[in-house]
Structure 1
Amino acid sequence: MSSPDGTAAPGPLPDALRDAGRTLVMGVVNVTPDSFSDGGQWFDTDVAVAHAKHLLAQGADIVDVGGESTRPGAAPVTPEEERRRILPVVEALVEAGGVVSVDTLHAATARAAVDAGALIVNDVSGGTADPEMLATVAQTGVVYILQHRRGTAATMNELAVYDDVVTEVRAELAERLAATAAAGVREEQVVLDPGLGFAKNAEHNWALLARLDELGRLGRPLLVGASRKRFLGGVVAPGLADQPMARDAASAAVSALAAAAGVWAVRVHEVTASLDATRVAAAWTAHR
């Protein structure tokens, strides 16, 4: 699937993902005790592996495994603890034939996960958290999801100040793209993520979603991660705004609209509805 400007999918992936004919669905597994979206219910290794395999059985094209919460105010985790949490899950998924993404800020964790068979590194800091990350991505040759963020988990809410969020996010992503190129990362490896909720409020998130085509002009495929995020609480049924799992239907609606806009992938907690949403978008687009 291409980006909103027709850019091809990232290169170093299996042909089945490059030729899916629709936006891909990335299922999320948080091997953490403090995730905003699921309250730590997948923290136990065996439970996390079972859940990840369930997402594959539901049809997830990719499973994104993370061992450190990156929500605002989250406590940092050492790379050693992060690897202890996620590597058994990565190894089990690879053995099961899944395409695995590792959600990490740390170059050492990224390398260990790639050595275990992960094909994608998903870095919410866009290479700013660890000075070794971009070199590691260049050396391993895997797909690199470069997300926009300002500051850290502790400071990003204070930095959600923009004159024009889309123009500024696009400019800041362009700067990070230049940094990846300077570090030796090939252009075809890179996917861009506008970073919904990361140094953005609800209005910023909606503006970025409404103007995905402008981000697509950077020439790289896009990933959208709206699933269960707080800004969706403003559109769910009254009384449910503070319940992340009550936002799954709204998340699937965003998946459909993002897919119709041509994004490469959506990152979601509940796979089935978003998979149907991307198929509907593909059928809709095919009949225009």
Structure 2
Amino acid sequence: CKNTTSDFILLGLFKHTGPHLFLFMVMLTMAIASFMGNALMLLLIYWDPQLHIPMYFLLSQLSLMDVMLVATILPKMAADYLTGKKSISLAGCGLQIFVSITLDGGESFLLAAMSYDRYVAVCHPLQYPVLMSQELCLRMILGSWFLGAADGLMQAAATLSFPFCSTREMDHFFCEAPMLVRLACADTSVFEYVMYICCVLMLLAPLSLILTTYSLILIAVLEMHSREARQKASATCSSHLAVVGLFYGAAIFIYMRPKSYRSANHDKLVSASYTIFTPVLNPLIYSLRNSEVKGALKRWLGKCVNLNCQQT
């Protein structure tokens, strides 16, 4: 039953038909827009001194994770569709599993850190420099990356340790642990149970913190007497909640459903949402509703125009 070659076949997301070619071009355009939008957010945050505060350092890590996710999955998917070569090596499959789980897990904890930052800013504004120091911000960022990488390494190593059957076709557009486990010709029930527990800890624990902090924020906002303060707090927090809803909805659907309820087509669509659609929405959500980011963009564009005028 064990496969004699280490390569797997990714059947992909699209077929070679007119409508599917159009959808592929739309997705490729969105992927490029996602990469450029998040890269621009990184550039603005590190270039503009006015954005050198914990809130934006956390946001920069979210953009970095989205850039890495798009760079890890989309080039391979596009190359497979355009060339017709749909194979991926065991090492390549393991790398995609490790990176995707690392980024998913890291983003889960990062969103929780961002919710704590918003809680301190809204509920304890005078103590913000103390409660949300640069040192604490750095620890939150490093902790998010470390916990995500630990989960990614564990799941990638465990998934690739199984013997795989002669059927090497994966009805997906990248290697994802729940999909790869289906190809194993061994009892995977213990691993699936452990993976489920890990997902509960990696997703529901941070989500519980987020819901708790935003409940406290909501109470604080309702008690505010200034209409302008309520609007500013609501605008910032609603942007973060929109990202939280998009991310956790897709992640819970992929990793926490019972095996009997899984469908390859549904999994592919939801995976596409968190690898392509969510990363392209994140910079739009945070930039269009954030006056400080829009101000930094205007200053950066103004500086670029001035430099071009001086050179000419």
Please confirm whether the aligned pair reaches a TM-score higher than 0.5, indicating the same fold: no
Largest Rg, 1 or 2: 2
Q: What TM-score bracket applies, with the shorter chain setting the length? A: under 0.3
Structure with the largest fraction of strand: 1
TM-score (norm. length: structure 2): 0.23
